[in-house]
A and B are shown apart, each in its own frame.
Chain A
């Protein structure tokens, strides 16, 4: 007859099964952050500091930049990474400060809807941009 004994120091209850979501979220913030340092600081430097800063920007300037697939891809990557990085950051902030479960739920729903909307709109605009659109 064998006696089933727990291993030494084994916890009385198994740890809650929570998956690795928050670990991936933590890692994503650092990887996307590293890329965004280059993409966003480059964007701000070109748009706000170089060649007279914001005063040079108009429809023609945008058309000139998006004529190049390089800048289209730059802006597309920046849009997706910044929305997901920023959205994930705001999700953390909501989790930290919302006191009621219902408040937390609805604030996060609002956040996710705005993220999907902005990513979809921005992607649509980059891919369907027409430099010869009429006034």
Chain B
């Protein structure tokens, strides 16, 4: 966890190196926030899935809430959070284990963000397709 934002090589005007307030720090902040949020969701998610052990009706009733338009939007947020955490986690591993990782950490962060956008655009479409057509078409 501690190396999630490896020390930067960015040179400041004073000639020192900058970590605090720079991109690497924010990637670490985002990694923590997305990780903690996902862990809290996981707690809820195991509880709702456990309802399959109670009865099919109980499970289906609770799963219906996941199909609500607002909750559906939160699911896009969850997928976005997990996707960032996964991609940035790969970046952290490369920084730790690849000899050139620290040198390219900044390029890798922009790559993470680019891949995230490229995946999330069709992801948003496929996740919200049914909800949007129901809201617009009404059938």
Q: A residues near B, CB below 8 A? A: 26, 29-30, 33-34, 36-37, 40-41, 44, 48-50, 52-55, 57-60, 62-63, 79, 82-83, 86-87, 89-90, 92-93, 114, 118, 121-122, 124-125, 128-130, 133-135
Smallest beta-carbon distance B35→chain A, Å:
5
Q: Are A82 and B59 in contact (CB under 8 A)?
A: no
- Alpha-carbon distance between A55 and B67 when the two chains are bound, in angstroms: 6
Chain B residues within an 8 Å CB radius of A50: 126
CB pair B66–A57 under 8 Å, yes or no, is yes
Q: How many A-B residue pairs have CB under 8 A?
A: 107
| Other A-B pairs beyond A30-B93, A57-B63, 10, CB < 8 Å | A29-B1, A41-B83, A44-B79, A49-B127, A59-B59, A90-B36, A118-B46, A128-B53, A133-B52, A133-B56
Contact B75 A48 (CB under 8 A): yes
From A37, which residue of chain B is reached at the shortest CB distance? B86
Q: Complex formed: what's the CA distance from A55 to B123 in Å?
A: 15
Q: Which 3 A-B pairs have the closest CB atoms?
A: A86-B39, A59-B56, A92-B1
Tell me which residues from 1 to 56 in chain B have a Cβ below 8 Å from any Cβ of chain A: 1-2, 32, 35-36, 38-39, 42-43, 46-47, 49-50, 52-53, 55-56
A134-B83 Cα distance, complex, nearest whole Å: 37
What are the interface flags for B104-139 relative to A under an 8 Å C-beta threshold, 1 for contact and 0 otherwise? 000000000000000000010011011000000000
Give the residue name and chain of the B residue nearest to A129 (CB): B52
Known: A82-B42, A93-B32. A58 touches B86 (CB 8 A): no
Contact B96 A135 (CB under 8 A): no
Known: A49-B123, A53-B126. A118 touches B63 (CB 8 A): no
